[in-house]
Structure 1
């Protein structure tokens, strides 16, 4: 049998989905599983987007432009301008999800063997995108005790070598929900300018900022037009995860031209999904007001409830819909698997994402798990009861 590639062997499995078989078995055994493991909101997709699909009278499902519908890119340009980000349609490449946007960005800006610095814990699939592009991830560790704030710039600068090509952040963050301050973003801007690096910012959770906090985009940094690349997606903003529509935004003409070549190689982003995404731009502000209010309530229920459980610590995030909690257990992955295999409380149990897979440094995150508070409030309350009862009997509790 021919052997598979080295790259295929290096490609990491998703820590978010690796426990799925255990969840499936738990359901077959009759258990109710509260899915706190994945960022799939239960919020309805905006009606305007759903109606656009239902009312589309397409006779021939043609390719679109490789950069995406021109009308959609014009609409995105207006959306960004309303968010304080001044870009035109030619500085936007529509992609098949934010995942493709970051992959195109990596392949446009970096050579195999280059290094990318990422604050950890980070969205686990960044490892996969970097592997696909032949890059080496260099982590800089943030701590749960500090609420996952950006590590000191001096610590990041120590990691820069002649192989360093870019820094990647997620703001607000997945898995932590941490929202970087304007000052932190400006410090990163000064660092990439000093060392002539690219700064990638995954800002797919921009709409979800709480407690009066406002996001500051890397695209708002002055004097860094050639350094900054924004990654975006409709998945979370409009609860349209299955649409698979994202965007790469940059004022660097060379990067955009290069990314477009990768876009041409995959021909075009999906047509019906672009129809829905373009229509979603007309979503009224009242939709977001209601969604944000709902997420604040869910966050408070989950985070406050976790911190009331003996031995559990969870900093309160200011964005996204994730939180990372530290549990008094020997190994969070074993604990998460045990919850599905061996535990239930009144026929119910919980599925979480162990955090070790969100760290690049071996051994970190061993007692932590990411929780997505994307379920309704009553389900979250029941999940908290399950967790408290589970910790009372878990054999690996410390």
Structure 2
């Protein structure tokens, strides 16, 4: 029998999606499942985006330019400049989601067995993207004790070798919700300049910050124009996860020329999704003001309810719409599966994402889960009540 590739065998399962069969099983039993496992917002997509697709007068569904519609890139450049980011249209390549942008970034800057340093816990698919690219993830540990703040620069310095090509951050963070301060970004800028590394910043949650904290982009840092690569997406900003439109952004012309070759190899990003994404740029600021207020209320509700459960510890997120909670269990994978297979409270149960999959260090995060507060507040309160009841009877 032909054998599967080593790379394929090494590809990690998604900690977010691997429990789906058990959730489907729970639903077949008639149980209501509260999905706290995935960052799928229930906020309505802007009507301008939906209408643009409905009203598109297209007779032939053609390829677009490999870099994406020029009209979209021009408007995206204007959008960034209006938000204080000095980004021109030639600095942008439209991609099939932020995922493809990350693959283009790794493919353009790293070779097989090169190393990328990432503060962990981190977005689980970074493990998959690095495996697909033949790149080794070198984790630097952050801690729930300080809300998952940037680890000391000395910790980064100890990990840098001749194979190190980049540092990757998610800001605000998935799964932690941590928002790096301007001071922390400048520290990273200093280290990438010193060691001639790339600084890749996944900034897809840029709009979602709370409590007066402001997002500081790597594209705002003077002196690292050749080092900085920004990853962006419409998925969360406009509640358009299914559009699969993102972009890779950099002032480094060599990086962008190389990324363009990857873009040409996959021909073009999807046409209808680009039409929707371009139209979404007309969304008024009032939309974001309302969304941010809603997410802040949901965050406060979730954290307050979790803090009522004995033995649970939660880091208060400053951005995005996720938090990491430490539970009084030995193995959150087993607990998450048990919740779906063997537990219900008044016919209801919850689906969480075990956090071990957001680490690359073996054996870390086994008692943690990621929770996405993308449900309305009433459902978050019910979800935490179910979680509380489950923890009171779980034997693991």
- State the TM-score bracket (shorter-chain normalisation): over 0.9
Corresponding residue SS for 2:313: coil
Match of 1:19 in 2: 19
| CA–CA separation in structure 1 for the residues paired with 2:83 and 2:168 | 21
1:265 CA drift (Å): 0.4
1:93 CA drift (Å): 0.2
Match of 1:175 in 2: 175
Match of 1:282 in 2: 282
1:308 CA drift (Å): 1.1
| CA–CA separation in structure 2 for the residues paired with 1:113 and 1:294 | 43
Match of 2:301 in 1: 301
Match of 2:268 in 1: 268
Corresponding residue SS for 2:340: helix
Match of 1:322 in 2: 322
Match of 1:203 in 2: 203
1:208 CA drift (Å): 0.3
1:2 CA drift (Å): 1.2
Corresponding residue SS for 1:214: coil
Asked if 1:64 corresponds to 2:68, the answer is no
Corresponding residue SS for 1:375: coil
Match of 2:350 in 1: 350
1:351 CA drift (Å): 0.3
For residues 333-372 of structure 1, the aligned pairs below 5 Å read 333-372=333-372
Corresponding residue SS for 1:308: coil
1:216 CA drift (Å): 0.1
Q: Which runs of 4+ in 1 moved over 4 A?
A: none
| CA–CA separation in structure 1 for the residues paired with 2:48 and 2:347 | 39
| CA–CA separation in structure 2 for the residues paired with 1:362 and 1:111 | 24
Corresponding residue SS for 1:279: helix
1:7 CA drift (Å): 1.0
Match of 2:246 in 1: 246
| CA–CA separation in structure 2 for the residues paired with 1:267 and 1:363 | 41
| CA–CA separation in structure 1 for the residues paired with 2:284 and 2:87 | 22
1:178-220 CA-partner distances (Å, limit 9, x unpaired): 0000000000000000000000000000010001110000011
1:215-263 CA-partner distances (Å, limit 9, x unpaired): 0000111111100000000000000000000000000000000000000
1:13 CA drift (Å): 1.0
1:75-114 CA-partner distances (Å, limit 9, x unpaired): 1101111111101101100000000001001000111110
> Which structure 1 segments of 5+ residues have no match?
none
1:4 CA drift (Å): 1.6
Match of 1:102 in 2: 102
Match of 2:259 in 1: 259
1:119-154 CA-partner distances (Å, limit 9, x unpaired): 000000001111111100000000111100010001
Q: Note the aligned Cα RMSD (angstroms).
A: 0.5
| CA–CA separation in structure 2 for the residues paired with 1:259 and 1:13 | 27
| CA–CA separation in structure 2 for the residues paired with 1:289 and 1:191 | 35
| CA–CA separation in structure 2 for the residues paired with 1:89 and 1:44 | 28
Match of 1:193 in 2: 193
> Which structure 2 segments of 5+ residues have no match?
none
| CA–CA separation in structure 2 for the residues paired with 1:308 and 1:170 | 29
Match of 2:93 in 1: 93
| CA–CA separation in structure 2 for the residues paired with 1:13 and 1:333 | 12
Match of 2:112 in 1: 112
For residues 112-151 of structure 1, the aligned pairs below 5 Å read 112-151=112-151
Aligned residues, how many?
396
When normalised by structure 2's length, the TM-score is: 0.99
| CA–CA separation in structure 2 for the residues paired with 1:382 and 1:29 | 19
| CA–CA separation in structure 2 for the residues paired with 1:85 and 1:180 | 17
| CA–CA separation in structure 1 for the residues paired with 2:352 and 2:316 | 17
1:30-51 CA-partner distances (Å, limit 9, x unpaired): 1000000000000000011111
